[in-house]
Amino acid sequence: MSHYHLCLRNGNLKGYTMARPRKPRFVDGLELPDNLYTDPKKRNNYWRYIRPDGSILTFYATTVEAIRQAKQANRQRELYKRQPAANETLWTARAGSLLDRYSDWVTWMEINHPRQATSARWAQKRRYVERMCEQLRNPMPSDLTLAKVREWWESQDYHPQRNSRAALRSFVNYLMLEGAVPKLSFNPFNTSDEAPKLIPRQRPPKIRQRLTITNFWRIYDKAGELGYEGLQIAMELSLLTTMRRGDVCSLRLDAHVSDEGIDKGVEKSINQRGEERATYLRWSYDKHPELRPVMDRARELSLRNYGCPFAVSYQPKRRQPRANQHEHWCRLMPSRVSNQFREAREAAGVCSDLPSNARPTFHEVRALASHLLKKSGHSPEAIAEICAHTDAEITENFYLSGHEREYVNVGINIDSKLLNRK
C-alpha cells in the first residue's frame, strides 16, 4: 500500500494537496469559457484573452460576442494540442502528404494558369492553403474526411473563411482530379447551391463609424500640424478620386501624372481581371480642376524628398533600403499612411469616445467620397464604375450606406371624406 493510501487510512493527509475544480465564472448570467477574463480596469465590454504563449489580448465586444470569440480561439488551440516529435515539424512534407500535394498544385497552377499564378495575390492564396495543411497537421490526402475539414473550417472566423475559400476550392479540385481524396465525394469549398458545401459564417455587423466631412477636415488639419504633408495629399487624392489606399500610394508622378491629368489603372481590378479586362480611369484637369493644385503640391513635396517619383512621400528618420529597386526610400507605404491617419485622428479627438475598432480608418475617406458623389446627384451605377465595383449593389451596401439618413417627402394622403369624421 502506498504512503498516500496509508495516510488516507489513518486520516493524516498533511502535506498532500489536491487540485480544486475550477470555479465557473459568470458575467450577465453567462458562463465565461477558459482563458477569457473581464477587464481589470472595469471598462464596460472590454475583455482579456490569454494566448497560449501567455500574452494578453485586450479587445472590445459584447458579452455574447466575447464568449463566441473565446470559444472559437479555444477550438483553434485544440488543433495545435498535439506536439510534433523532436525530428518532425509541421512542414515535413512526407511523400504523398497534403503538403507534398500542395507543392504539386503550385507547380500545376503556375504552368496551366500563369496569369493567376503571377498575380499580386498569388502569394497570399498559397499561404491560405499552407495554413490549412499546417492546422490539419499535414495528413495524408486519403485520410481527409468531411468531418475533419468541417471541424477546421468552423473554427475559422468570417474573414479568414471569406478570403481563403477560392484558393481552397482550387486546391481541393486539383486533389479530386488526381483521385487523392477518395473520402471526399464533393468539394466542400464550392459555392454552388446544386451541390453540398460548407456553410460560411454570417458576416459580422459593421461597427466602424462613417467619416463625416467635418471630421475629415479636422484630421486633415491635425495631420498638417504633425508634419504629415504626404498624408494630407493622400487624403485629398482619395476624396477627389475615390482611389483606394494602395492606388494612392502607388501613384507615380513620372508614369501616371501628366499636364492633362491623371491616368491610373485600378490595382485591385488588375489583380482580379488581368491587365486586358481591368478598369483604367482618367481624371482630366479640365473636368477636375481641383486636382491640379494637389498634384502641384505633390511635385513640390517630391523635390524636397530627394526626387521621390511617388505622389505621396515623406522623409523617414533613417534611410532604409527598399527590396524593390523600382521603389524609393521616401515612398509613403500604405501601412504608414494608415498609422499616420490613426495618429492624426487620435490627436484631433475624432470619435475618441468609441472603441478603437469602431473609429474610422483611412478607407472611410473613400466611402465619404462616394457619399458626396451621390449627394452631388450622381447615380450609384456611375459611382460603382469609378470605384471599379462589379455592380452598384456593392457600392450601395458597403460605401453609400451608414451616412446620414435620407428622408423621402410623402406627397400623397387619404381623402378626408373617406375618414367619415370631421
pLDDT along the chain (422 residues), means of 10: 50 52 83 90 86 81 83 70 45 71 87 73 86 90 93 90 93 94 93 84 80 93 95 94 91 92 85 76 91 95 94 85 67 93 94 86 90 83 68 47 51 55 58
SS3 of residue 131 by DSSP: helix
Domains of the chain (ranges; CATH) run 3-79 (no CATH), 213-400 (1.10.443.10)
Q: CA of 368: how far to CAs of 91, 116, 359, in Å?
A: 45, 32, 14
For position 188, what pLDDT does the model report?
Answer: 93
Asked whether the beta carbons of 35 and 71 are under 8 A apart, the reply is no
Asked whether the beta carbons of 66 and 106 are under 8 A apart, the reply is no
Asked whether the beta carbons of 47 and 37 are under 8 A apart, the reply is yes
What the block records as the C-alpha cell of 149 is 475539414
| Strand spans (E) along 231-285 | 261-265, 280-284
For position 393, what pLDDT does the model report?
Answer: 47
Task: Residue 130: count other Cβ atoms within 10 Å of its Cβ.
Answer: 16
SS3 of residue 331 by DSSP: strand
SS3 of residue 394 by DSSP: helix
What the block records as the C-alpha cell of 298 is 505633390
**Distance (Å, whole) CA 129 – CA 113:** 17
Report the first-to-last Cα separation within the chain, whole angstroms: 100
What the block records as the C-alpha cell of 115 is 496569369
For position 88, what pLDDT does the model report?
Answer: 42
Taking CB atoms within 8 Å and a gap of at least 24, the contacts of 384-389 are 385/279, 386/241, 386/242, 386/281, 387/242, 388/266, 388/268, 388/269, 388/279, 388/281
SS3 of residue 286 by DSSP: coil
Asked whether the beta carbons of 290 and 376 are under 8 A apart, the reply is no
**Distance (Å, whole) CA 205 – CA 402:** 12
For position 141, what pLDDT does the model report?
Answer: 93
What the block records as the C-alpha cell of 280 is 483604367
